[in-house]
Structure formats: structure tokens, C-alpha cells
Amino acid sequence: MIPENPLQDEMIEVSPELKLKAADDIFVSELHQLILKNRQWLQHSLNWPQFVGSEEDTRQNMLSNRLLHQRGYAKMFLIVKSEEVVGVLSFNAIEPLNKTGYIGYWLDESHQGQGILAACLEAFIRYYSQQGEVRRFVIKCRVENQSSNRVALRNGFVLEGCLRQAEFLNGHYHDQNIYARIIDEGSE
Ligand SMILES: CC(C)(COP(=O)(O)OP(=O)(O)OC[C@H]1O[C@@H](n2cnc3c(N)ncnc32)[C@H](O)[C@@H]1OP(=O)(O)O)[C@@H](O)C(=O)NCCC(=O)NCCS
């Protein structure tokens, strides 16, 4: 049975046309189609798209993310531009004691290069730092993933180091850069 969803209306307004909407069943079909459309391309940078089969897989994934979202151990938001789902922005994990959140993101290939992720990330960070829920925001990305490294640098993250062979992708273990931005409540 699908539990009641108190997240249904949770939303972070980025701009009049850009919103982050909490994971919800109503987005399953649209998100699934977006994943299928981008699967081959996403597979160059993320490991999971190859495992997405039916719409039911996307529904189950959304459901487990929703439960983690409700419990505060992860967050999953759809990036919605003019009522169209164009990507995902998440905390893949939150360490509540350490107030640390590990950020993940992807965009529809054709929506890159417009600053959509940059604007969403800024609003997302502001929202969670103001709530006092997260103060250390972390991005881990493959050293070779140039667009993702640029996202971190453009959004004020500081490179803290390189984790050796920390990410398994397409049959190989890749080095990962770790970036963080620390914001204490009310400091920005
Ligand atoms: C990583 C990813 C989300 C970055 O997308 P993106 O469009 O480059 O990022 P943004 O939305 O922040 O846009 C920034 C780009 O738009 C341009 N831009 C245009 N208008 C802009 C504006 N108003 N503000 C900021 N940037 C703007 C910037 O110059 C920049 O382009 P550049 O990197 O060529 O200089 C995207 O490439 C992706 O989904 N990749 C596959 C999945 C992935 O790698 N996820 C991360 C795993 S760690």
C-alpha cells in the first residue's frame, strides 16, 4: 500500500517559471519518459539508468526516495520548468547528526547550458540552510565529469580533495573529486 504523502505540496520556488517539487506519484510517468529519453546519454555519467526498465521501476524508486525524504535521510525534488519536468535535484543522503547532505543532480540533455541547475541548486541550498537541517553541502563527482565539476565551482563549492577509485561506472572505478560548501544558518 502506498503511504499517505504529506510531501505533495512541498515546493521550493526558484523563479516564476522554475520550481523544485518534492517527489510524488503524479510525476512518475513524466519522469520515466524523461529517463528513457536521456538514458543513453546519462549512462556516460551515472550508473543507475541501465537498470531502469518499466515505469513500475521508476514508481518503486520514487516511493523509496519519498520514504527517505519524509524521514529526513534523503530528499528528492523534480526540477519543473514551466510545468514540464526537466531533471532531478536530490540529497542522495543526509547525515542528520553531522548536518551534511550529499547532492545529486541531472538535467534533460536539451535543457543544459541555460543555468537551470545553477539556479535550482542555489535555491535548494538556501532552503535547507535556512531550515537549519543541513550546513555542510557536498558534491562528489568524477574527475572527468567536466560539466559537474563546473557546477560545483560555479556554485561556490570548494574542492577538498580527490577520492581514489571511489566511483564505479561502466566497468571501471573512477577517481572522484569531493567539493563542499558550508553555510551556517543566517550567515548568508
Ligand atoms: C551536470 C549537469 C546537470 C550540468 O548541466 P548544466 O546545464 O551545465 O548546468 P547549469 O544548469 O548550471 O548551466 C550552466 C551552463 O549554462 C550556462 N548559462 C547560461 N545562462 C546561465 C545563467 N543565467 N546562469 C548560469 N549559467 C548559465 C553556463 O555558462 C554554463 O555553461 P558552461 O558549463 O558551458 O560554461 C548536466 O550536464 C547533466 O545532467 N549531466 C549528466 C548527469 C550528471 O553528470 N550528473 C552529475 C553527476 S555527479
- List, for residues 26-65, the tens digit of each pLDDT value: 999 999 999 999 999 999 999 999 999 999 999 999 999 9
Residue-level pLDDT at 3: 47
**74: burial class by Cβ within 10 Å (0-12, 13-18, 19+)?**
buried
pLDDT for 5 beyond 70: no
Residue 182 pLDDT greater than 90, yes or no: yes
pLDDT at 146: 98
The residue contributing the CA closest to ligand 1 atom 34 is 113
pLDDT above 50: residue 2: no
Ligand 1 contacts (CB < 6 A) are 42, 45-46, 105-107, 112-118, 141, 145, 147-148, 150-151
Ligand 1 centroid to residue 6 C-alpha, Å: 31
On whether the pTM is more than 0.75, the answer is yes
**pLDDT of the residue at 185:** 75
Strand 84-95: give its sheet, edge to edge. Answer: 11-15, 18-22, 75-81, 84-95, 100-107, 136-142, 172-182, 158-169
Q: What is the pLDDT of residues 110-145, one digit of tens each?
A: 999 999 999 999 999 999 999 999 999 999 999 999
Residue written as grid cell 535543457:
111
Question: What mean pLDDT comes out for the span 77-88?
Answer: 98
Q: Whose CA is nearest to atom 15 of ligand 1?
A: 113
Query: Which of 81, 151, 175 has most ligand 1 atoms within 8 Å of its beta carbon, as the pocket-test mutant?
Result: 151
The grid coordinates listed for 107 are 538535467
